[in-house]
């Protein structure tokens, strides 16, 4: 009965409305899922989206945590957005996040128990370098051997996880930890600890870096020739080649910047909220950041808002598990619905729904 008719140009109204509709659809579908699990759907949605911000019982803890959770998501998503705009698909930010944490933590532990003020800056440089060098593997393989960066970057995540487990059980294991896996706790190592800048606010250097990344990305994409080249490469690859854009340089830059920012996110997390390298250090931020990037329409300001929203689902999801006994996979499925509905409804930005005309008898 219906057909899709391609629009001459994408609809700006639908581009703006799609993320909002995707969130509403996610609430409805999530509510149905919670009801099937035998839980009150209205209460579940209220706990996830309302209580962390406005409940007197939880807000004092949840509001600072909003920045703590949003920081790495925004930082990684900003990096991914450069490549996604250019049609370069880095799906391995989780691995770059892990390697960045390992490099940064390794530098900090190497200087233990020194109290030099230069340790944390060195950790930041090492974390960024670790994420960058891990992203250079799919970049070089793509530019030299034309391999698929999606598969290579994704498979490297599992390599990074095995390296992390080996480090937690071996080279980085705390010698004073009575044999338990995991490194020393950076919260007890003052000069290497990413502490809150304002007590009780959740604001640490990782959050500051996320806001700086948003500003940098906005200026680059809207005011710099590089942003124009990235957009052109994504929308019209052949036109980009004729205009003198080097595809290989663009691949190296986009994968490099995404790896660098993911590595920074890993360093700030291990030196701050997480506190140490363990076998379960990674929380899936690298994969969730893909949802954040698309929910924010690959726009820096949109990513900032999407990161805060996704952080809210993390905190609210934890509360729903605690208060209602919802299983963790249900919360993960709820978060995944956001991307599903966003991609589904994104069709309306480029196509109109038309009623099929019946042929003559």
At 281, which CATH number?
1.10.3470
Shared-domain flag, residues 180 and 107: yes
- Are 279 and 339 found together in one domain? no
320 pLDDT tier (thresholds 50, 70, 90): very high
Q: Is 162 found in the same domain as 195?
A: yes
CA 89 to chain centroid: 14
Q: What residue has token string 């999606």? A: 150
3-state secondary structure 16-83: HHHHHHHHHHHHHHHHHHHHHCCCCHHHHHHHHHCHHHHCCCCHHHHHHHHHHHHHHHHHHHHHHHHH
Average pLDDT over residues 29-43: 94
pTM over 0.75: yes
Residues 121 and 183 in one domain: yes
Residue 301 lies in a domain: yes
What pLDDT shows up at residue 350?
A: 83
pLDDT band of 221, cuts 50, 70, 90: very high
| 338 φ/ψ angles, rounded to the nearest 5 degrees | -55, -50
Averaged pLDDT for residues 297-310? 94
Q: Structural domain of residue 130, as residue ranges?
A: 64-307
* Backbone φ, ψ for residue 253 (5° rounding): -65, -50
Is the pLDDT at 361 greater than 80, yes or no?
no
Local confidence band at 239 (pLDDT 50, 70, 90 cut-offs): confident
Query: Residue range 173-190: average pLDDT?
Result: 88
- Residues 242, 198: one domain? yes
Contacts of 342 (CB under 8 A, 6+ apart): 18, 19, 22, 291, 294, 295
Does residue 74 sit in the same domain as residue 204?
yes
Q: 242-278: per-residue pLDDT in tens?
A: 888 899 999 999 999 999 999 999 999 999 999 999 9
Same domain, 129 and 12: no
* The token pair that represents 96 in the structure block: 């770059």
pLDDT at 338 (0 to 100): 87
Residue 217 has pLDDT above 90, yes or no: yes
- Residue linked to tokens 């020393």: 184
| 340 in any annotated domain | yes
As given in the structure block, the two tokens for residue 257 are 């910047």
């Amino acid at each position: 009965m219906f057909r899709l008719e391609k629009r001459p140009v994408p609809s700006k109204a639908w581009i703006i409305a799609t993320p909002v509709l995707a969130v509403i659809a996610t609430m409805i579908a999530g509510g149905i899922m919670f009801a099937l699990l035998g839980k009150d759907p209205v209460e579940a949605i209220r706990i996830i989206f309302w209580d962390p911000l406005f409940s007197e019982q939880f807000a004092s803890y949840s509001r600072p945590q909003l920045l703590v959770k949003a920081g790495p998501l925004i930082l990684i998503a900003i990096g991914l957005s450069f490549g996604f705009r250019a049609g370069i698909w880095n799906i391995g930010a989780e691995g770059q996040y892990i390697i960045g944490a390992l490099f940064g933590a390794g530098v900090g532990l190497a200087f233990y128990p020194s109290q030099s003020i230069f340790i944390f800056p060195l950790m930041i440089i090492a974390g960024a370098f670790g994420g960058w060098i891990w992203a250079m593997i799919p970049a070089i393989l793509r530019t030299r051997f034309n391999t698929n960066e999606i598969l290579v970057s994704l498979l490297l995540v599992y390599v990074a996880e095995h390296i992390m487990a080996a480090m937690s059980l071996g080279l980085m294991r705390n010698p004073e930890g009575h044999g338990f896996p995991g490194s020393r706790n950076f919260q007890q190592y003052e000069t290497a600890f990413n502490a809150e800048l304002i007590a009780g606010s959740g604001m640490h250097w990782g959050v500051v870096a996320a806001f700086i990344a948003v500003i940098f990305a906005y200026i680059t994409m809207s005011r710099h020739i590089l942003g124009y080249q990235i957009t052109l490469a994504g929308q019209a690859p052949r036109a980009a080649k004729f205009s003198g854009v080097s595809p290989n340089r663009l691949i190296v830059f986009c994968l490099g910047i995404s790896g660098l920012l993911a590595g920074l996110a890993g360093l700030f997390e291990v030196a701050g909220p997480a506190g140490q390298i363990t076998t379960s250090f990674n929380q899936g931020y690298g994969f969730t950041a893909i949802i954040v990037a698309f929910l924010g329409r690959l726009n820096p300001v949109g990513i900032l808002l999407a990161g805060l929203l996704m952080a809210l689902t993390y905190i609210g999801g934890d509360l729903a598990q605690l208060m209602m006994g919802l299983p963790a996979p249900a919360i993960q499925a709820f978060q995944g619905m956001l991307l599903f509905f966003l991609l589904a409804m994104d069709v309306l930005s480029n196509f109109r729904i038309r009623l099929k005309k019946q042929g003559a008898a």
